[in-house]
Structure 1
C-alpha cells in the first residue's frame, strides 16, 4: 500500500490515540503558553468526538479515545518560582525533581482550564519505569487506563519526576509514550514537537534541509548522523522521538510527528493534509511480550558474541549458546536484561539486540566459549543450555 493510503486508512480507523507534547511546544520564556494549550485542547476535543472544526475538519466518524502525555512540569515549576522572585539554577537530578514538584500542579491546572470549555474531565497519571517493569503494577496501570477511558476521562500522563531515581527513570517522555503504546494497545502515536517534522539532514550542518514526509523504515536511519542536539527546555530531541517511533513501529503502530505550535495541526493531518512526518509501522509486528521484555528497563551489561553466533541469531533464529560468547561487560545478575553485540575481528562491535541472560556475569565469564559438556563440568548439572533463549531476545531493539 502507498504510504499516503496507509496514513489515511490508519487515521480514519484509529480508535485509541496517544498524543505526546514536548516542553518546547507548551512553553515560552514566561512559562506555560495558555494559547497553545487551549488550541491543543480544542483539537483534541474535536478528534475525540470524531467531529469537524471550522476551517480544520478532523474528519467525521466514530469517537476516538485519547491519552495525553504532557511534558513541561519542570519548565512550569521554574516559571512559578521566578514569579515569586525565587531564582535558582535547575541543574542536577534533585533540582529538576524539586522544580517538577512545583510545576506539576501548575501544569494540571492549566490543562484543566484548557479542557473545561469542552466538558472533558482530566485525570493525572504519574508513572515511574518500575510501574511498567513489575508485572502486577503493569497490569494495574493498564486496568486504570482502561477504566478512565471507559469513564470518558482524559488521562494526562507524565513521569513521576519527584520520586524517580536514575535507574527507574524513563529518560524522557518520548520513551514513556512508546511504552504506553504497548501498555494501552494504542493504534496511533502522535508526537507534537517544536520542529516542522523529521528533517532530511542535520540542520546544524545544512540549514536548507527539508522535511521528510514519510520515513519508510525508521530502523534503517542513522539517527546519530541525522539528528541534531536536544531542545533547550526539554530532555529529548528528534533522536529520542525517532527512537520512540522505532519502538512503536515494532508493535505495528505508526507514528505521526507534527509541528505542535502550528494552529489546528492535528485536525489538518486527520483531514488529509500532508503535514509533518509519517513513520511507517514494521511489516511484521513483534509480540507485546517481547516488547515488554526488551524495554522494561535499560540493559545492565553487554554480551559480545563471535560472527558465527551473530549469524545464527540473525539468520537462523537460534538461541545464544556459551560457545558463541567471546566477552562479557558489566556485573549483572541472572535474569538481567543485557545487550547482545557482535565482536568483529578488528576489535569493533555492533549491537544486535537485547535479551534476558540465564547466567550472571561472573558465571558467564567462567563458561564463555565452552561447549555444553564443558559447561557441565564447571557448573554442574544446574545450568541452562542457552545463555539467552531466542524467546527471551529481541534483535534490532531500539536501545
Structure 2
C-alpha cells in the first residue's frame, strides 16, 4: 500500500467534492499538464457510472496562464498580484479545457469568490446553479475568481473554498487530492520518524501545529490548509479524505470504495448537522400551508411548492430561516427561496406561473427539501 497507509473503507457517499491542487496539474516549470488528471478523471467517471455526483474544485489557472506567455514577460513570475491575476485570466479556459478532454459529459466552469459565499442571496444563487448543473448531468469545475478576488488571491486557498463548496452542495464527503499520501504525525519530507495517520476523529491544535505550509512551488496550500478545510467540513457534518492524487492505483481502489490515505471524520452526519442547525436557528417569519402540503412535507419528504402555500407572516428575505405552519402550528422549518412579499404574490399559484407573476424566478420551490427539517411532532397537528 501507499507510503505505509493501509486499506480502509471509504465513507458511504452519494455526492462529493473533489479538490485538486496545482501541484497535480503543473509541471516543475509551471506549465499545465494532464499527467495526474487522467487518473483523477477516471475516478470521477467511475463514480458517476455508479450513480454518484462529483463537483471538482480545481486549482491550476495561474500555472496554465504561465505556460501561455514567454518566460521574460512581466508578471509571469507570479510575485505581483496584478501579474497573477492576469495569468489566472489567461489560464482559466485552458484549465477547464484540460478537464473537458477527460469527460464525455459537459464540463461547466463556475468561478466563485468568498464574497459570493458570504452574501446570502449570492450563496443561494450559486447553490441553485450547482444543483441545476448536477441535475443536467454536467461536471462543475469550480475555482476562485482570481481575476477580481484580491484578498482571496493573496490567500490562494482552494482547500478552504472546497470545504465551503462541500457545504454549499450538501456533499457527503470532501476528497482532497494532494502530492502526499495523507496526514503524518510530522512532515515526512523532513522527519524520517513521521508515521501515517489513518483515521482521525477530530482535528486538534496539535495536528495544525505539526502541519507545514505549501509543499511545492506550484501549490499555494499545504497540509495546514487541508486540515483547516477538514475542520470546516466537519462542522457541516461532512467527512474529509486526504489521499495521493499522483497514485493511479490509489484512485482505482477508491473507485472500489477502498482508501489508502487519511480519513478525517465529522462529529455528526451531514444530515444531522444540518437538521440540528435548522431546528435551532431563529425563524424570522412563517408561511402557512394547506393539508396537502402538510402531508407532502411530513409524509413524503417533498419540497414546499407555491401551490400549497396559503400566505406569509413577517418580513423575511430570501435566504432567511422561516417556520412552516398548518392552521397556526409550526411543524417544519427551512430556508426561504423567496422573500415574504414574493411568497404572498405567488401563493396558491402553479410553479410555471412564478416568472410571469414576479418577472423572475429563483426556482420552483418556496423551501427546497434539502433546506427543510420537520420539527418534533406537535400535538396539535393531525
Q: TM-score, normalised by structure 2?
A: 0.65
Change (3 A) 1:277 1:253: same
Q: Distance in 2 between matches of 1:29 and 1:219?
A: 33
What is the number of residues matched between the two proteins? 267
After superposition, the Cα gap between the structure-2 partners of 1:15 and 1:259, relative to the gap in structure 1 and judged at 3 Å, is same
Secondary structure, aligned partner of 2:248: coil
Deviates more, 1:27-36 or 1:71-80: 27-36
Q: Is the 8 A contact 1:43 1:264 kept in 2?
A: no
Distance between the aligned counterparts of 1:290 and 1:167, measured in 2? 27
**Closer, same or farther: CA 290–219 of 1 in aligned 2, 3 Å:** farther
Structure 1: state its 5+ residue gaps: 1-6, 51-62, 292-399
Trace 1:139-218 onto structure 2 (pairs within 5 A): 139-166=124-151, 171-203=156-188, 205-218=190-203
- What is the distance in 2 between the residues matched to 1:22 and 1:269? 18
Match of 2:111 in 1: 126
Question: What is residue 89 of structure 1 aligned with on the other side?
Answer: 77
How far is 1:40 from its partner? 1.6
Helix, strand or coil for the counterpart of 2:181? coil
Match of 2:101 in 1: 113
Aligned with residue 273 of structure 1, among 258, 277, 300: 258
Secondary structure in structure 1 of the residue aligned to 2:36? helix
Name whichever of 119-128 and 92-101 sits farther off.
92-101
**Distance in 2 of aligned mates of 1:282 and 1:106:** 39
Q: Is the 8 Å Cα contact of residues 10 and 259 (structure 2) preserved in structure 1?
A: no
Deviations 1:46-72 (A, max 9, x none): 11111xxxxxxxxxxxx0011000001
**Do 2:239 and 2:266's aligned partners in 1 also have CA atoms closer than 8 Å?**
yes
1:9 & 1:278 partners in 2: Cα distance? 8
Per-residue CA distance 1:258-313 (angstroms, 9 max, x = gap): 1000014233124243401000111476558979xxxxxxxxxxxxxxxxxxxxxx
Match of 2:27 in 1: 28
CA contact (8 A) 2:113 2:152 kept: no
| Aligned CA distance change for structure 1 residues 289 and 127 (closer, same or farther; 3 Å) | farther
How far apart are residue 78 of structure 1 and its match? 1.0
Whether 1:229 and 2:228 are equivalent positions in the alignment is no
1:138 equivalent to 2:137? Answer no
For 1:219, which of 201, 204, 207 is the aligned residue? 204
Q: 2:53 aligns with which of 54, 59, 65?
A: 65
Contact 1:213-1:274 within 8 A present in 2 as well: no
Check conservation: 1:40, 1:264, Cα contact below 8 A: no
Measured on the aligned residues, the alpha-carbon RMSD in Å equals 2.5
- What SS does the corresponding residue of 1:80 show, helix, strand or coil? coil
CA spacing shift, 1:205–1:162, aligned 2, 3 Å? same
2:37 matched to 1:41? no
Does the aligned pair in 1 maintain the 2:41–2:102 contact within 8 Å? Answer: yes
Q: Residue 151 of structure 1: CA displacement?
A: 0.2
Q: Structure 2 regions of 5+ residues with no counterpart?
A: 1-7, 279-382
CA distance in structure 2 between the aligned counterparts of 1:178 and 1:276, rounded to whole angstroms: 18
